[in-house]
Each structure stands twice: as structure tokens, then as C-alpha cells.
Chain A
Amino acid sequence: MADGDVVRCDACPVTCYIKRGMAGACDRYANEEGRLVRVDPLVVLEHTVEAGEKVVPFLGAGNAEWNGEIVRGPSTFVTAIGAGTTYPDYKPAPFIVSSQVAGVDTVTVVTEGIFSYCGVKVKIDTDRHLGPERNLVRVDGEPIGHVTTGEYGSQMLSLGGVNHLTHGGKKEGRVTCDALLRLCNGEAVEVAVDDGATAILQAGKPPIINGKSEERMRVGCGSATIGMFAKQWYGKVDDVVVVDDHITGVLSEHQAGKVLGAKDTGIKIRGRKSTPGRYFHVAEPGSGWGGTNVTDPMEIVTGFDARHAWPGLRLLMVSTTGEQYAYYELDAALRPVEKDLPPNLQESVERIAENCEPALTTVLFMAGAGGSLRAGVTENPVRLTRSVRNAITRVTAGGAPVYVWPGGGITFMVDVTLLPSHAFGYVPTPALVAPIEFTLRLDDYAALGGHVDAVRPADEVLRDASLRQRRIAGAVR
């Protein structure tokens, strides 16, 4: 979309052409160095941190001059942006109508959280085997996390956390912090799994595993794929095997094939039979067919039972993404002979591929708001926790909605792609710095022991720069 200095924004039908350093008509999207970035009406404020620690501004290296004003003060900045600013995307209106809102009735406590207890959960849409569960994930040889429980069609990594950040070696902490920061700010990070793959991970982009970019998620497990496509195969081919690391499906034995009246073909498949037509563990995990290490699909077919098989039997082998397929016919000795895929089956293979969703890496930042952060908001921190629990206080991170984990504390998760560009920073502790806002009614704020005397009108906080320029500065600089 970039054309020289101008970016075309497709977020709404206005389709603004936005010049470098400028925002679109909505003030929500801006052109940062020729790239369309989302900017939220968020005032990012630097604040003082514990003595001896230097806050690294929310900028890339070599971009040290922050020309937006830095408001120094206590660890909280309270902006009272008139009535109606509870909604994160809402901009302060120059007029506030009705007698109920002559003054300020809503406050947003904008603060930077310094999170020692923080990390990211990475969901990698791939069936490729990244490494055994619980194995370490490394960057530059340093352990930064581990492979955790896989999800449907996805491999999961749990990275960061206090043990890698502060309880391990000095280099381990530094490397972990840097990797987390880059992942949170939408940059690419290369990781290596012990006894597993290397992967380049970037939020919102396809994962690159062992140098190969993933394009698609599998349409379903092998058994599910049989169920989805049985009707399209029936009559065109005598048997179909969908090769999958999780469950390999066999049409002629599968319930879906039986319902259609598929004949037994006497095919014998490696692995452990689960229920009819569903096989576990037909091969080892790997980067071959359907997330297995299979490169020749006949490796998983041990033979054909002569009591059921017949010469000329037609067999389709296909992976769960449709990326690999092969077609065979049995000769007189019931040996499979590979042939070209008949045109009437080509469509079904393409349909599998077509039904696969794009494979992405997604990154959720997860952190706990600790005692000192809460104290910055209120003199009675536990009341803030209770207020969040009772949904009186709304928590956002850089204006993005968060999920607050039930139970004690304020432990939240947020999709890093929803935050403004470069919303994360770090301190050399090492720990990550992320924006967090607590929004609540002024009277509720007073009731929970808030720093009511620190409430400032928005104009004082926003100072001279226009809001529009400030927003861009907040995101771009």
C-alpha cells in the first residue's frame, strides 16, 4: 500500500491517503515511516522509577530524542478527560453537553507498569513439530521459555516469566527481556527449541519454521478431514488416507465412509488404531506430510489384505493441508503404483487447501500488576483489585482490551497487535514496561482511596502540543 511517502489506509471506506508522520481523518491510524500503524488516544507518560534505574523510552535504539513532553512526577498520571472518555477509542469532545457533566466525572489512571512478572504466550499455527513439550526454547543459546501444551492446529510456547528474567543468569535475563520486548513490539525473533526446530516468530505474521514459511493451518485432523470431504471423494476413488500427526484418517473404515457405503479395501496402516478409520502415531512428528516425518506416504501403508483388496483399487493419500498428495492404483499383485492424480480428484485436494486458514504467529502479553503499581493508583491497593474484580474499574493496556485472569491479583493478557506500535519498553532490571490504564468514575475512584488530589484536567496533562500531534508522537517516536 505504500507509495513513496503516502500510505493508503483501508480501515474504513474513507480510505485516507496518509502522508508520512501524519494521521488519517480518524486520528486512529497514522503513517509511521511509510507503514500504517494504529495510534490510540493514549497519552504515554514517562515516569520516575526506582532510583538507579533508567527508563528506556518507548522508542527504538538510536531514536533517543523524545520530543513529546515528558511529565515527571509520582508514578501515576491521572488524566481526567471530561465526561465520555471511558471508551478507549473516544476522543475528548470540545463540548460536553448536559448539566450532568459540567465538570469531570470520569478518570483514567494512565501509568506505565514495570513488570518483572511478565511473559508472552505464543500461539504458532502449525502442525509441524517444534520440539517435545517442556523442552527449552532458546535465543542466542539462552533459555527464555519452553514448549507448552499444544492447542488445536497450533503449537504453543510460554516465554519469559520471572525465572528467566531475574532468577537465571545475567545474560539469560537480558536475552529474555530483549526477546520479549521485540515480540511485544511486533518484531521478529528467532528461537530454537531443544531437540526441535528453529522458528522465526513475529506477531501477526506467518511463522517460519526451519527456514520454511508456514502458509496454512490444517483444515482439521485427519479424521475430521475424512468427515468433511467423504462425500466429495465417494465414488471417485476407492479409499483415501489423510495423513496427520495427530489422527490419520482412512475413508473406507471411517464412520463417514461406512455411512456412504464405502467398501472395505483391506488397507493396513501403521500406528495404533483408535476407533475405526482413526489411527494415532502413524509416524514420528516432523516437517513432512501432515506434521509427521513422512516424506513418502507409502511408509505408513504396510500392505493390503488380499481378502478385501482388488487389482485396480484406487487410493488417494493426502495431508491435512492439501499441500502433499499422491494417487495410486493397485497392480495385479496388489502393489500400489503411483499415477497422476485424476482431474476429478484434483478439486477435492484443492478444496482442502482452500479451507485451511492462514497460519499466523500470535503473541499475548501476560503480566501481573503488583503492589507498587497498584499503590500508584490508590493508597489502598487491594481495593483496586476488588474494584477490577467487580467490573467497576476497567483495565486496558495502551487502550486495548485485556482479559483479567480470575482469582487474586490483577493478572491480565492482551494481544500485542492491538496496542499502538512500540508501546512496550524495558528497564535494565530487567523487566518489561507496558502501558496500563485503569478507568473508573471519579466518585468510585475517591471511594477506593484514589489519589484524588492528583487528578488533573486533561489540558494540563496535554500541555501545548495538539492532541493530534501528540497522538502521532506517542506512536511514532
Chain B
Amino acid sequence: MARARAARLSGNRLHLQDGPIDLVIEAMGAASEVEAGYAAAARRFQTILDELCAELPILRLPIRPGNPMPEGVAARRMWHAAAPFAGAFITPMAAVAGAVAEEVLGAMTAAADIRRAYVNNGGDIALYLASGEQTHIGLVDRPDRPRIYGTVSIAASQPVRGVATSGWRGRSFSLGIADAVTVLAATAAGADAAATVIANAVDLPGHPAIRRQPARDRDPQSDLGAIPVTVAVGALTDGEVEAALASGLAAARDCIAEGLVAAAALHLAGRTVQTGLPLLHHAKAA
């Protein structure tokens, strides 16, 4: 309580912040229900960072046989969301943002009769849609330069309750060169992990214009350790951009085939490709 902060934003939205977590929350429904939901969200939020930090060493370990599983509810969400991708190196941290959003959304919708709601954790979003409801989401192609390039509409009947974006320009490290990969999936934690994996796959291994550095040289505590992460991407030819996107698209299609992802949009150097549910509507020139 001493640390976590809650504030109201315009449009009757709720902002919760603790350490590195920023949540922007909006719930729609009867005013008294919205208030009850916000109170429940704030209550749940108070301890979530401490819960995660208590298990941080475990959450930073790659998911593979022999490594322990975490115990906390939110930590388990992370683990389960990342586990399907454990064929390659992945830690539960790949799903932390989505899992936190999901956890707080769950507390809110369990406590109150909400029509629709979202919890936006720095771009990783958990959605709630009561039957018949739908929502619109603005998309940006580069997290560091927020500009809405298109929107998607998600209806309650569609199997999408999570949206996440990953890319090397974002807050977390990426092994790939995608400016942004946006994923729609059944859960926010699942979308978060999948976006990480697909963004990693948008890559041109060994390309001289791509500068990489061991993750631990940037952040001594990174769960990625000595694995090189992208720190700069120089000029690429059109053909190279196509090739990198094709590699990412293949990974995205695998995820869709396995039922982990509903749709994905991949961005690199101004080019966009997408796969899965045809959800995207382009915005008018911004």
C-alpha cells in the first residue's frame, strides 16, 4: 500500500502503479458496479508485485524439465502461458505483463457485474466482454513512437481476450528485429508470450547491420543471461525485410496451428504482414 498507487484518469479510468507495473483500466457497466470493480482491482493490485518478486529467481529460469515451477497464482499464469513455447529458450517472464493484466482483470470482473473492461499493462491488454459486447482497439506499429495505424474490433463471440505487442524497440529485450509484433490470443498472458516468441523469429541471423549485445550487459539481472539481444537495426534492403518478416510469419502460423494464437500482425521497417483472423482495419492516414 505504501508503494502502490491508484489514481483516476480522465474518462473514469483507473491507473494503478507499483514499481515497474503501470495499469490503465477501464470498466463499463452500472456506475456502482464499476466502482466495486475498481475497488477490487486496486485491492488485488496491492500485493501482486510483492508476490511476483518473492518468486523472481524461479520466474527467471528457463522452462525445462528439472526447473521448479512457481507457486503464486499470477506466477503460475506466467508459467502456463510460456510453457507451450518451451521448445526454445523461454522463461515465465515472457508473459509477466499479460499475466498481471489478466490477474487484475479477473479480480475486477469476479467482484462486480461489468459489461466490458480492459486492463492495459503497458500495451499488453486483458479484455473482458460480456455476451453481445464488443470493443475496439487501436494499434501502433512502433511502441516507441505511438501512432495508431489501424484498429481491430473484437466481439464477445470471438476467442480473443488478450492482446500483446513485442519488439526490440519496446520495454523488453527481443532476440529479433521486428519493430512490433501484435498478437491476439485467448488470454493476455498467452498473447504476451506468443508475441515475444514471434518477434524473436522476425530476424536475419548474422546480418552485419544488426547490432546485438548479451542481455546481461544491458541488464545484469535479465532472464536472458548471455543470449544476444538486439540493440540496433541498420538499413535493410526490401528483400531482407521480406525475408525477416517471412521467418516471423512462419512462427506465427505455427502458433495459430497449435491454437495458441488467433491472429498476428508483424511490422518491420514500415512493412506490415498479418495472419489469422482478418481483424485489422487500417486507419485513415494519420
Binding site for B on A (CB under 8 A): 6, 11-19, 22, 24-28, 81-84, 86-87, 89-103, 105-106, 441, 457-459, 462, 465-468
Contacts and interface: CB of A to CB of B under 8 A. Distances in A.
Contact of B9 (A19, A27, A84, A465): A84
B122 interface: yes
A98 B163 CA distance: 13
Interface string B5-31: 101011101010111101010100000
Interface string B144-173: 111110010000000000010100011100
Given A12-B49, A87-B7, A89-B22, 10 more contacts: A17-B219, A17-B221, A26-B19, A86-B9, A89-B5, A94-B180, A95-B137, A95-B139, A459-B145, A465-B144
5 contacts: A84-B10, A90-B22, A94-B143, A99-B135, A102-B138
B220 interface: yes
A95 B125 contact: yes
B47 to A, nearest CB: 11
A13 B26 contact: no
Given A90-B17, A105-B10, A82 B146 contact: yes
A376 B149 CA distance: 31
Nearest to B147: A459
A93 B19 CA distance: 16
Contacts of B135: 97-99
Contact of B19 (A22, A25, A84): A25
A93 B180 contact: no
A467 B56 contact: no
Contacts of A100: 11
B224 interface: no
Contacts of B11: 83, 98, 100-101, 105
The size class of the interface chain B forms with chain A is 35 or more
A387 B139 CA distance: 33
Interface in B185-213: none
B146 A458 contact: yes
Interface in B23-73: 24, 26, 49-50, 53-54, 56
Nearest to B17: A89
Contacts of A87: 7, 9, 15, 17
B19 A97 contact: no
B286 A97 contact: no
B286 A14 contact: no
A22 B171 CA distance: 12
Contacts of A468: 144, 171
A26 B143 CA distance: 15
A89 B18 CA distance: 11
B219 A16 contact: yes
Nearest to A467: B144
Nearest to A95: B123
Nearest to B170: A94
Contact of A457 (B19, B136, B147): B147
B79 interface: no
Contact of A14 (B5, B19, B144, B171): B19
A8 B49 CA distance: 18
B151 A102 contact: yes
Of residues B5, B53, B138, which shows the largest number of chain A Cβ atoms within 10 Å of its Cβ? B138
A399 to B, nearest CB: 13
B174 interface: no
Contacts of A27: 20, 171
A442 to B, nearest CB: 10
B20 A95 contact: no
Contacts of A83: 9-11
Contacts of B142: 459
A330 to B, nearest CB: 51
Contacts of B217: 19
B185 to A, nearest CB: 14
B26 to A, nearest CB: 6
A90 B49 contact: no
A91 B136 CA distance: 21
Contacts of A94: 122-123, 140, 143, 146, 165, 170, 180
A13 B125 contact: no
A22 B173 CA distance: 13
Contact of B122 (A11, A91, A466): A91
B23 to A, nearest CB: 10
